[in-house]
Amino acid sequence: MKNIRAKLPNAAIYWIAISPNERRWGVQDKILEANALLKNYCESTPKLHYIETMPQLLGKDGKYQPELYIGDKLHFNEKGYVVWKNVIGGVLNRDFGKK
């Protein structure tokens, strides 16, 4: 962050939440903790923004949605990337206006 700020002091930086997935479900509590720390850091740092993706990527039961991932259960499939893109795009469109 220090290097980026040195070169681009006025740049808006967006930090995307760590996404849930089956491969890391055993450490989901640590992922939630890390995301909370990242969110707090972003909220207390000028021009640093946090993009929350968990609600859209979790099912109504609060668990990851396997239909959003390829066979390795770690990376998104096309449907997963559409969800992810819509969340991120929504924030960027809100902040920068749809081009």
SS3 assignment, position 50? strand
| CATH classification at residue 60 | 3.40.50.1110
Q: How would you write the pLDDT of the chain (99 residues) with one tens digit per residue?
A: 889 999 999 999 999 999 998 889 899 999 999 999 999 999 999 999 999 999 999 999 988 899 999 999 999 999 999 999 999 999 999 999 865
The structure tokens listed for 58 are: 């979790």
Query: How many structural domains are present in the chain?
Result: 1
Contacts 24+ apart (CB under 8 A), 71-80: 72/23, 73/21, 73/22, 73/23, 74/21, 74/22, 74/23, 74/24, 75/21, 76/19
pTM: 0.87
Its domain, for residue 41, covers: 2-96
